[in-house]
Amino acid sequence: MKKLNVGIIGAGFMGKAHVVGYSNMPKLFWPAHAVPVMKTVCDIDPQIAAEAKDRFGFEKSVTDWRDIVNDPDIDVVSVCTPNDTHAEISIAAIKAGKHVLCEKPLASTLKAAKDMADAAEKVPNVITMSAYQYRRVPAVVLAKRFVDEGKLGNILNIRCVYLQSWSADPNSPLSWRFQKDIAGAGTLGDIGSHIIDIAQYMAGDIDEVVSMLKTYIPQRPIQEGGVDLLGTVKLNADAKKAPVDVEDEVSCLVKFKNGAIGSLEATRNAWGRNNYLAVEIHGTKGSILFNYERLNELQVCFADDPEHFRGFKTVHTGPAHYYGPATWNIPGMNIGYGELKAIEIFDFITAIVENKQPSTHFGVGYGIEKVCEAIKISANNSKWEKVK
């Protein structure tokens, strides 16, 4: 059985998610194309790195990412660090001949994203992947199948929202996600990028946008330590505060190259919404609705159903659907975020073994950054902006 040695850089929330993906992939997808071996984990905090080694079953831990990128034993690198470091690490890894799975957004600036896509293009045997996992949810793949098979007719409109609540509390701490020099953008890059990916996956390239960005909470209490706690703690209201220089909300109308229109809205300040990534598509022959909070379901409505019978019906995804046979063999057993990360790793490892770039290679990640850039420019000028 082929083995691939994995190095994970960044042992926080996303580092853990990638570990869950690599470790569970062969347990779910068997026979696997290759079995990942948890070789080295890196975190700049030595204690977090050492803990991650024991907790996640790595052979060793390091505190300098170069020790992974320059290690001839490593085949595959996962970049799970804050956005401003993605380009330097990924480009070095690509040059060292490693396959790279990088967290989203691809980079903190458009220039860095372009450099990453260019570096990937120069070494075609290296597989690159941007971690846009939501397009791999079986119900989303099913939605795409309905679109591609023409079951919805011509796509008229696609509405995408991504709503969370973890930063709605003003005492939810200031992590790097609220700092432009590290994150590059706020909600737009963090979660808006996911719905740009889904929208373009469903309806093709976005051509033009008009948008608004808004910051609701201009300063937040400073969080001690390097771990991104994502609102799981609330700091004391009189803790020292620092400014937030990114947006809390993005709201946007879009025109697609194929003539469809749509809207994108994202915020992390929506009480009651937790990981509400929802996509509604209306076509000339029907509609579909997906909501990640019920990720095992797809709502479908077809125009040619008899009138007394027409309305949204629920398809419950399971073994009959894409990735289904690999997960659980009884419908209704359901998958969650852990299985989704394993699905992402399955696609990544398959791409490596088949030497074929996956559907979210760095070029696609760069395309999403171009849309983000147009959204920022439009919000600044209050005018429609073409995606360049």
For binding to ligand SOE (CB under 6 A), which residues are involved?
104, 164, 190-191, 230, 268
Whole-angstrom distance between the N-terminal and C-terminal Cα of the chain? 45
Q: Regarding beta strands 313-316 and 297-302, do their DSSP bridges make them parallel or antiparallel, or are they unpaired?
A: antiparallel
Short-list 248, 179, 180, CA closest to 214: 248
Ranked by CB distance to ligand SOE, the top (closest) residue is 190
Q: How far is the CB of 94 from ligand SOE (least distance, A)?
A: 22
Q: How far is the CB of 365 from ligand SOE (least distance, A)?
A: 13
Q: How far is the CB of 251 from ligand SOE (least distance, A)?
A: 17
- Rounded Cα–Cα distance for residues 337 and 344 (Å): 10
Residue 24 to residues 130, 318, 337: CA-CA distances in angstroms?
20, 18, 12
Residue 75 or residue 247: which is nearer to ligand SOE going by CB? 247
Residue 23 or residue 164: which is nearer to ligand SOE going by CB? 164
Residue 4 or residue 139: which is nearer to ligand SOE going by CB? 139
Residue 80 or residue 155: which is nearer to ligand SOE going by CB? 80
CA atoms within 13 A on the CB side of 81: 26
CA angle (191 as vertex; 142, 154 as ends), nearest 5:
40
Q: How far is the CB of 164 from ligand SOE (least distance, A)?
A: 6
Short-list 172, 187, 168, 164, CA closest to 220: 172
Residue 5 or residue 128: which is nearer to ligand SOE going by CB? 128
- Rounded Cα–Cα distance for residues 313 and 278 (Å): 16
Q: Please, where are the H alpha helices in the chain?
A: 13-28, 46-56, 66-69, 86-95, 110-122, 138-148, 180-183, 187, 193-203, 337-354, 362-381
Tell me which residue has tokens 């598509």.
281
Residue 115 or residue 248: which is nearer to ligand SOE going by CB? 248
Short-list 343, 319, 320, 338, CA closest to 329: 319
- What does the CA dihedral 20, 24, 29, 30 come to, rounded to 10 degrees? 150
Q: How far is the CB of 109 from ligand SOE (least distance, A)?
A: 18
Q: How far is the CB of 187 from ligand SOE (least distance, A)?
A: 8
Q: How far is CA 273 from the centre of its chain?
A: 18
Residue 21 or residue 26: which is nearer to ligand SOE going by CB? 21
Q: How far is the CB of 121 from ligand SOE (least distance, A)?
A: 25
Tell me which residue has tokens 């490693």.
98
Residue 104 or residue 135: which is nearer to ligand SOE going by CB? 104
Residue 32 or residue 79: which is nearer to ligand SOE going by CB? 79
Q: How far is the CB of 79 from ligand SOE (least distance, A)?
A: 14
Q: How far is the CB of 26 from ligand SOE (least distance, A)?
A: 24
- What does the CA dihedral 248, 367, 20, 96 come to, rounded to 10 degrees? -120
Residue 116 or residue 260: which is nearer to ligand SOE going by CB? 116
Structure tokens at 243: 């400014």
Tell me which residue has tokens 């171009």.
370
Q: How far is the CB of 190 from ligand SOE (least distance, A)?
A: 5
Q: Regarding beta strands 128-130 and 99-102, do their DSSP bridges make them parallel or antiparallel, or are they unpaired?
A: parallel
